[in-house]
Amino acid sequence: VFSKIFSHEALESYLPKIQLVIKDTLRAWSSNPEPINVYHEAQKLTFRMAIRVLLGFCIPDEELGRLFEVYQQFVENVFSLPVDLPFSGYRRGIRARETLQKGLEKAIQEKLQNTQGKDYSDALDILIESGKEHGKELTMQELKDGTLELIFAAYATTASASTSLIMQLLKHPRVLEKLREELRSKGILHNGCICEGSLRLDNISSLHYLDCVIKEVLRLFTPISGGYRTVLQTFELDGFQIPKGWSVMYSIRDTHDTAPVFKDVDVFDPDRFEQGRSEDKDGRFHYLPFGGGVRTCLGKHLAKLFLKALAIELASTSRFELATRTFPRITLVPVVHPVDGLKVKFFGLDSNQNEILAGTDAMLGATV
């Protein structure tokens, strides 16, 4: 049922809405006179994307802000000990979930009653229709659980990767410059502006260097550490017998750090994924930011599309600089993120600055 939400056709319909949410967000960041906390704002951005694009909810901004605060409280207590005492993390998480589900139920009911004027099918529409095709009318509780699952899946990991992307573009201005060169060569960027109607799914798929940049961000800064599997058949690994029925954990980060196919593993080098090198092609399980096998992440194509759309907007319409003297330390839990959230100052672009972005290589290098 969930697989249709991430089909090629579904992604094509989400793309204009994703662009709109990203544009509005970057405009808000640029209008802020103070540096922003990128990680916190990226969490707001991915939450808004899930609510507005995936679920198609028309929730007023003020109410959306309140829902985001409740959602954060829910996420912060997801992994608390299951001790149901007053003031415990478990109790706070349960209360936050109940508040969230009330808000989601209200939004779902309003959505089901107002079906006029829609210009695309969002994930919740597809979920409902796909359920009917499988002979299952989803109950309100199942719809609430499904929407919460979609928000949860789209939230923390995408915010983590978005923050890592911005940090690497700040650290490596030549990568940002090369992205702009590719956008101009493909007719997407002209005189510092994105050409109208140029951002379609097939056009974005043709941006090979952009794909390399996103792959390298996910290799070096994989949002989550690994995944769990159940052993289906007893097997032996390096002299150790792993019995059937055991739970095992595979480590994505350790795999990326120790895979022999990657050269200089600590270096941010998007060119390692270019056709001439293709370091990820030697072997099936050396590169697995979204897991592997039949339980690979269902939303991986949506996540990559979102990151690519963000990178295009950052390269095309934004000027930004680090607001601290040094880059922050990175922590790995609960997902990869900068300890202080990464303080960055975004600037609005006027026509002169657009000309600079569209200018010579020297000018391009000086804008970041």
Please give the share of the chain, as a percent, with pLDDT higher than 70. Answer: 94
Angle between helix 300-317 and helix 208-220 axes, rounded to 10 deg: 110
Angle between helix 173-185 and helix 140-171 axes, rounded to 10 deg: 110
Q: Is residue 303 part of a domain?
A: yes
Among 100, 79, 101, which residue's Cα sits nearest to residue 89? Answer: 79
How far, rounded to the nearest angstrom, does the alpha carbon of residue 90 sit from its chain's CA centroid? 27
Annotated binding residue 297: yes
Q: Is residue 246 part of a domain?
A: no
Question: How far apart, in whole angstroms, are the C-alpha atoms of residue 87 and residue 90?
Answer: 8
Among 18, 87, 95, 100, which residue's Cα sits nearest to residue 59? Answer: 100
Q: Can you give the residue range of the structural domain that contains 41?
A: 4-56+122-219+297-348
Burial class (CB in 10 A: 0-12, 13-18, 19+), 323: middle
Q: Is residue 132 part of a domain?
A: yes
Q: Is residue 270 part of a domain?
A: no
Place 359 in a pLDDT band, splitting at 50, 70 and 90: very low
pLDDT score for 101? 94
pLDDT score for 350? 56
Render pLDDT for 181-217 as a digit per residue (tens, 0 to 9): 999 999 999 887 888 888 899 999 999 999 999 999 9
Beta strands 36-37; 189-190: pairing state:
unpaired
Render pLDDT for 96-144 as a digit per residue (tens, 0 to 9): 999 999 999 999 999 888 877 677 889 899 888 888 888 888 899 999 9
Domains contained in the chain, number: 1
Share the mean pLDDT of the chain: 90
Mean pLDDT of 212-226: 96
Q: With contact defined as beta carbons under 8 Å apart, do 53 and 122 qualify?
A: yes
pTM: 0.92
Phi (first) and psi of residue 222, to 5 degrees: -55, 125
Q: Is residue 92 part of a domain?
A: no
Place 244 in a pLDDT band, splitting at 50, 70 and 90: very high
Alpha-carbon distances, residue 73 vs 87, 103, 254, 274 (angstroms): 13, 15, 30, 41
CATH of residue 341? 1.10.630.10
pLDDT score for 136? 83
- For 288, the token pair is 């697995």
Question: How far apart, in whole angstroms, are the C-alpha atoms of residue 209 and residue 308?
Answer: 11
Place 75 in a pLDDT band, splitting at 50, 70 and 90: very high
pLDDT score for 295? 86
Q: Is residue 94 part of a domain?
A: no
Q: Is residue 330 part of a domain?
A: yes
Is residue 355 scored above 60 in pLDDT? no
Is residue 20 scored above 80 in pLDDT? yes
Q: Is residue 45 part of a domain?
A: yes
Mean pLDDT of 234-262: 95
